[in-house]
């Protein structure tokens, strides 16, 4: 057994589960500092004989660092790297990093960085372009070349900054889909509305009719859940094959520079206005808070929603079952469409725009060692270790060779979605590696994302493929300003249409809305995007 695995076997559970506390930017966490023994054979000098110490800042939004964790042990034993972790709160992450750059007191690596932040920081001259490091990352690049349509070049094109270079090392998302329709099928069966989940609707017309039947049988209900934030059209935009910005229509092949100015958007608003007038969504949906949503779920007021695949199904069951043990919320293996020949689903991009940013504090041997580590992260060996951890501690293997997480990592049913957030012990490792073990992904999030994607693809459903518009700096500033003006106006008018302050069926009201968009620069927006699309993406 390799030495670093032997060391893992000695990890105490208490140490493994101790989260990094305090602001480690002021008081860095002490990582293990025992270096591997130097090579005794003079003909095979140890390339890692010199210990490298790194300072890595990470975003606490999704996870906490774990002292003396598996990752620390791998870095030490395999690469002779010691890490001082800086934990930065999500709300202040970008500000803190920017201030560090300004004061020339920034870390070697930004862990859990956002690509948008990387693009901004590229202007400081303090972060390294991935393009200049590609020869040291062959396995990382291979993951995308072999597993993504368009390969590494496509991913770089989607994530590069205005200078055409990539500044954030992305990871690959192995899931097929992110969001879907969720329905309270158990209660619907008890109400006599459906015989089985096979009877659930696939068209907007039938879906709205089902919501009306629910309201008739349960007058105090709010059949369709809207969680506030003004995004009442979440999910319905897929049903009407339209998006809130630019997109390429999957079925017609037509490029649409601004979806909210189309007839599809208008038809969606007509349906949403109907739902609002008939009490099928909450009258106060704009001010509905997360706490109110939880209370309403417990009380059994909701019957359908559009939300994250899998995990939210479990959350709805957990809450709703307090008053309705047979609620039976499910994630639906179909989509709903206004045109039954044009079903569209929310397909995840094959890459994650969050990842790793390397700063110019790294050079020479320190940079080479970091690149060696990241390239190793893309190998099958790393995928197995970083996804599963250590046998006996974080996972077990049954007689058939199937792995499952121990109670240290999970306390949820692995056949479905997690009942609680995944323990940081695993999340800190695997969320951002490029070659995640698919079985491990299923173990921590349930089979829903894989199952949904397979179902949607088998039925020939369409999806909105991401497009990359790489404007020059001056044009991008103009586009950003137009986007704010247009989207603010669109949101204001769309909610007025939904709530009946304006009538989406009225041609005069619709023309007033389009005129307002024109006043905010819609024609200029359309020109920028159409010209670029025709010249570079068509």
Position 202 confidence tier, pLDDT thresholds 50, 70, 90: very high
CA dist 75 and 83 (Å) reads 8
**Cα 49 to the center of its chain, rounded Å:** 39
Tokens 């039954």 locate to 340
User: In the numeric block, which tokens belong to residue 265?
Assistant: 């958007």
Q: Per residue in 56-93, pLDDT tens? A: 987 766 555 555 567 888 889 999 999 998 877 766 77
Per-residue pLDDT, 298: 96
Tokens 């590494």 locate to 152
Per-residue pLDDT, 33: 55
The maximal CA–CA distance of the chain, rounded, in angstroms, is 86
What's the CATH class of domain 49-174+350-439? alpha beta
Mean pLDDT of 182-208: 93
Residue 446 · residue 414 · CB < 8 Å: yes
Q: Per residue in 460-519, pLDDT tens? A: 999 998 888 888 889 989 999 999 999 999 999 999 999 999 999 999 999 999 999 999
Tokens 């200078």 locate to 163
What is the rounded radius of gyration, in angstroms, for the C-alpha atoms of the chain? 26
Beta-bridge partners for 86: 57
Give the closest residue to 32 by CA, choosing from 86, 66, 76: 76
- Domain positions in the chain are 49-174+350-439, 177-232+281-347, 473-537
pTM of the entire structure? Answer: 0.78
Give the closest residue to 31 by CA, choosing from 73, 60, 63: 73
Residue 356 · residue 374 · CB < 8 Å: yes
Identical fold for domains 49-174+350-439 and 177-232+281-347, yes or no, is yes
Q: Per residue in 304-335, pLDDT tens? A: 999 988 778 888 999 999 999 999 999 888 89
Other beta carbons within 10 angstroms of residue 389's beta carbon come to 27
The domain covering 177-232+281-347 belongs, at the CATH homologous superfamily level, to Periplasmic binding protein-like II (3.40.190.10)
At 331, is the secondary structure helix, strand, or coil? strand
Please report, for residues 36, 63, 74, 178, 477, the alpha-carbon distance to residue 83 in angstroms, rounded to integers and kept in the order given: 15, 17, 11, 33, 38
Q: Per residue in 412-446, pLDDT tens? A: 333 344 333 344 444 455 666 788 877 877 776 67
Position 408 confidence tier, pLDDT thresholds 50, 70, 90: low
**Cα 88 to the center of its chain, rounded Å:** 20
Give the closest residue to 178 by CA, choosing from 294, 29, 311: 311
Residue 182 · residue 330 · CB < 8 Å: yes
Give the closest residue to 470 by CA, choosing from 117, 157, 151: 157
CA dist 311 and 180 (Å) reads 11
CA dist 123 and 144 (Å) reads 27
């Amino acid at each position: 057994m390799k030495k670093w695995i032997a060391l893992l076997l000695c990890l105490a559970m208490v140490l493994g589960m101790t989260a990094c506390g305090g602001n480690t930017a002021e008081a860095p966490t002490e990582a293990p500092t025992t270096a591997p023994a130097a090579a005794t054979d003079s003909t095979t000098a140890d390339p890692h004989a010199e210990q490298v110490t790194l300072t890595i800042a990470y975003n606490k939004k999704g996870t906490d660092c774990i002292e003396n964790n598996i990752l620390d042990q791998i870095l030490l034993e395999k690469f002779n790297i010691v890490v001082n972790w800086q934990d930065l709160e999500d709300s202040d992450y970008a500000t803190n990093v920017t201030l560090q750059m300004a004061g020339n007191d920034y870390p070697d690596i930004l862990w859990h960085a956002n690509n948008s932040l990387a693009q901004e920081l590229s202007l400081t001259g303090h972060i390294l372009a991935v393009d200049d490091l590609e020869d040291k990352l062959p396995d990382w690049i291979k993951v995308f070349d072999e597993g993504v349509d368009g390969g590494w070049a496509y991913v770089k094109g989607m994530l590069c900054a205005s200078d055409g270079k990539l500044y954030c090392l992305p990871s690959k998302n192995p899931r097929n889909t992110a969001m879907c329709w969720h329905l309270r099928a158990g209660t619907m069966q008890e109400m006599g509305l459906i015989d089985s989940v096979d009877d659930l609707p696939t068209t907007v017309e039938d879906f709205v009719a089902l919501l009306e039947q629910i309201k008739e049988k349960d007058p105090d209900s709010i059949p369709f859940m809207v969680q506030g934030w003004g995004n009442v059209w979440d999910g319905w935009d897929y049903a009407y094959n339209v998006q809130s910005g630019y997109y390429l229509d999957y079925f017609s092949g037509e490029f649409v520079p601004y979806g909210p100015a189309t007839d599809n958007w208008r038809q969606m608003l007509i349906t949403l206005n109907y739902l609002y007038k008939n009490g099928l969504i909450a009258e106060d949906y704009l001010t509905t808070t997360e706490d109110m949503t939880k209370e309403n779920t417990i009380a059994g007021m909701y019957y359908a929603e559009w939300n994250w695949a899998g995990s939210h199904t479990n959350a709805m069951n957990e809450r709703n079952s307090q008053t309705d043990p047979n609620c039976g919320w499910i994630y639906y293996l179909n989509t709903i469409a206004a045109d039954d020949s044009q079903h569209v689903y929310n397909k995840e991009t094959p890459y994650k725009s969050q990842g790793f940013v390397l700063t110019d504090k790294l050079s020479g041997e320190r940079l080479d060692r970091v690149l060696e580590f990241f390239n190793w992260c893309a190998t099958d060996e790393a995928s197995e270790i970083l996804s599963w951890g250590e046998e006996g501690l974080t996972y077990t293997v049954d007689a058939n060779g199937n792995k499952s997480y121990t109670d240290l990592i999970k306390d949820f049913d692995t056949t479905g979605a997690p009942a609680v957030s995944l323990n940081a012990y695993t999340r800190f490792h695997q969320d951002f590696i490029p070659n995640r073990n698919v079985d491990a992904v299923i173990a921590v999030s349930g089979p829903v994302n894989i199952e949904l994607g397979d179902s949607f693809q088998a039925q020939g459903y369409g999806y909105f493929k991401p497009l990359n518009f790489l404007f020059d700096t001056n044009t991008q500033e103009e586009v950003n300003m137009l986007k704010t003006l247009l989207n603010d106006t669109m949101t204001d008018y769309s909610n007025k249409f939904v709530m009946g302050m304006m009538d989406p069926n009225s041609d005069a009201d619709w023309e007033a809305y389009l005129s307002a968009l024109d006043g905010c620069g819609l024609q200029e927006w359309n020109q920028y995007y159409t010209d670029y699309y025709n010249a570079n993406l068509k």
